[in-house]
Amino acid sequence: MTFSDFDKATAATPTAFLDRLAAVLPGAVDEAMRKALPDVYTPEKAKELADDIFLRQLYTDKAAEVAL
Q: 36-60 pLDDT, tens per residue?
A: 999 999 999 999 999 999 999 888 7
Q: How far is CA 64 from the centre of its chain?
A: 18
Taking 3-state DSSP, the helix, strand and coil percentages for the chain, each rounded to the nearest 5, stand at 85, 0, 15
Of all residues in the chain, what percent carry a pLDDT higher than 90?
47
* Model pTM score: 0.69
Higher model confidence: residue 51 or residue 12? 51
Residue 63: which pLDDT band, with cuts at 50, 70 and 90?
low
Strand residue runs (E) in 1-68? none
